[in-house]
A and B are shown apart, each in its own frame.
Chain A
């Protein structure tokens, strides 16, 4: 049977030292067995490497930052849609997810499908709501408290024992070892991201990550756990290994079943000394290390596209253990004229 060809828009082409998931997602789509693809890159900045990777990305358009508002984003996507007739868009940046979730009905009317968490799922898993999330779904999370005033730090930190994590509402976190450091972190993070600040109990242990895909009805379509082998200065995985842990998989299926999660996600977990898994964070999108999942037999981006298009997708039942990924960097040669083109016309 002839394979269909889909046109798919992908964001986060920043394959740099703190990489976005765009390029690995595109690699996965290019290896899809059920369809062929034409890839439309959607970029924010003109030096995102993916713009220039023509063997992976067929054409790139710049899109406005989420801070410009959904009206402008929609207007730009309408223009792009006139040229490209995209079937699916896979947004991969945290900061843009809200806009794409909000635009979902309008995109659908334009013929563009997405497969994203519902607004409620997106809201529930926010860092500030993690405690309630854990209670609601009976998933162990680290003790934490959202505070609006620095005076509260001392009380909480003394309850938790040092060190503690000081986290921003949306981004930023630092581990602090005494009250002075906590105050500095409180000021630094609150000046950037506002209040509240979250003080979280520090969980000692080994970090595990899971990427997966929920169909929105409570079924687990895919789930692959990974342990980071090597971590960069800024905490990103430089190498990681697929692991087999029934407990982790059980926990993931439980998470999907209870939340009826729709779309791709990544769970960040800590295994403490007692061997319990504590949920640290839920990222409502595909992670940058997604290619490991593809490499061990679960092509999550392919399945996500099929779900977005309303196709029946059989859950992945297994994956091969004992494979690892090692990231490397690569210096690409780029003609200045290409940089000129994306910079001045917003297209390449």
Chain B
């Protein structure tokens, strides 16, 4: 006789406010495949944990985002936000789809060049640009978005020596009615800093003012804030035109669009309430079209959307190490996925779905990672089906920031694979090895040997 699938025995007290887990056979469905590739096969072949990126999803996301803006506005350009996910395979997918590069450090700048992006299609943001970085960016005609006056002065000193006009914009921060207001980057609109900086640029030969940039926040849930921001940038651009007869080429609205993840502390899931790219497109393009720009002379609209284009394109596969009972009777499950590779578990309630069939029975569980550190909690409380040791789970919407902010800590970082549109699997980043890590280290001679 064939043996039945095992599920651990469970009994649960029915409380007066008992939720609907019992008798609700539709509550969960397993996620057995990603882009037609079996989760089990992926783990068997590439190990666990494993990041899995869907090239098809990335391409769909950028195409529909472009469509959302291009159907509403004549000139649109996306620039891939490197810090969100700077794996070469990911960046090149975006570049193939026509996205420029948006970088915030010399390292990212070099990575964009290495990926073959022409210097004039690299947007250089951020407060930390070294003299060397600026040199390179000016020579390559990159778009330098000035963050502070010290940078402005540095450029005016460097550029003449290179016989080049630096192509610059300033980053503008402003009150868009949202909280917190990001005022640490760029020049403030309301107190006149931004206008002042623009005048300084217009009065020097070292720079050409080509654009205006803002980036109003992160995981924004209010499209209207972007409309306010676009309107303020348009006012600055019109002001420059009136005063100097100079027309800027582009308005860069930055990024910050929310993805469909569920922020901790929100009641309804992100897939239901977070605005879509269409909502943001409507707000931004509406504000620009309604501004005082002449209809036949609208500036190029640049978007540095990161999270909303990549988050749902990646899943993190993991495996159950053990089920434990805590002293107070609560159930806990230990996964091989720790917070060191899933940073975003600090602010999202990621959707976590088993990768194999299960029954309708579920239990409230604390989900721990494998690190021998008390902070390694993937979820304080989640209702999960009864998982056995060795079962697999799929943690969803992990594409943004995890593969850049992750750190090597206690364990080695796992492989990353990408599934191409024909459902072939490619390793795009190898797993770390001890040898690789030791290459960075040097031991002084007197510490080389010891007796125990």
Which residues from chain A sit less than 8 Å from chain B, CB to CB? 44-47, 62-72, 75-76, 79, 95, 98-99, 102, 148, 170, 194-196, 342-347
Contacts and interface: CB of A to CB of B under 8 A. Distances in A.
A242 B272 CA distance: 39
Given A65-B20, A148-B179, A343 B14 contact: yes
A343 B14 CA distance: 8
Interface residues of B, number: 21
Interface centre among A62, A71, A347 (most CB of B within 10 A): A62
Interface string B1-26: 00000000000001011111011101
Contacts of B26: 72, 75-76, 79
Contact of A47 (B16, B265, B266, B267): B16
A47 B14 CA distance: 11
A166 B267 CA distance: 21
B269 A45 contact: no
Contacts of A69: 268-269, 271-272
A69 B19 CA distance: 14
Contact of B265 (A79, A95, A194): A194
B16 A68 contact: no
B180 interface: yes
Contact of B180 (A71, A148, A170): A148
B18 A67 contact: no
Contacts of B273: 98
A98 B272 contact: yes
Which 10 A-B pairs give the minimum distances between C-beta atoms?
Answer: A346-B23, A69-B269, A148-B179, A345-B23, A62-B20, A75-B26, A47-B16, A70-B272, A46-B18, A45-B17
A344 B14 CA distance: 10
B24 A76 contact: yes
B131 interface: no
B27 interface: yes
B267 A66 contact: yes
A343 B267 contact: no
B342 to A, nearest CB: 21
30 contacts: A44-B19, A45-B17, A46-B14, A47-B16, A47-B17, A62-B23, A62-B24, A63-B20, A64-B20, A66-B267, A66-B268, A67-B269, A69-B268, A69-B271, A69-B272, A72-B26, A75-B26, A76-B26, A98-B272, A99-B268, A99-B272, A102-B272, A194-B265, A342-B23, A343-B14, A344-B22, A345-B22, A345-B23, A346-B22, A346-B24
Contacts of A148: 179-180
A199 B222 CA distance: 22
Contact of B267 (A72, A95, A342, A347): A95
Contacts of A346: 20, 22-24
B17 to A, nearest CB: 5
A188 to B, nearest CB: 15
B23 A343 contact: yes
Nearest to B266: A194
B408 to A, nearest CB: 34
Contacts of A195: 179
Given A69-B272, A71-B271, A45 B24 contact: no
B223 to A, nearest CB: 12
Nearest to A347: B23
B20 to A, nearest CB: 4
Interface string B93-112: 00000000000000000000
A64 B24 contact: yes
B302 to A, nearest CB: 30
A62 B23 CA distance: 9
Nearest to A47: B16
A344 B23 contact: yes
A79 B180 CA distance: 44
Given A47-B18, A67-B269, A347-B23, 17 more contacts: A44-B19, A45-B17, A45-B18, A46-B14, A64-B24, A72-B27, A76-B24, A76-B26, A79-B26, A95-B267, A98-B268, A99-B268, A99-B272, A194-B265, A194-B266, A343-B14, A343-B22
Contacts of A194: 265-266
B10 to A, nearest CB: 14
Interface centre among B14, B266, B267, B271 (most CB of A within 10 A): B267
B23 A67 contact: no
B19 A65 contact: yes
Contacts of A102: 272
A157 to B, nearest CB: 20
A338 to B, nearest CB: 13
Nearest to B16: A47
Nearest to B14: A343
Interface centre among B22, B26, B180 (most CB of A within 10 A): B26
A66 B154 CA distance: 54
B91 to A, nearest CB: 32
Contacts of B16: 45, 47
Contacts of A75: 26
Contacts of B18: 45-47, 343
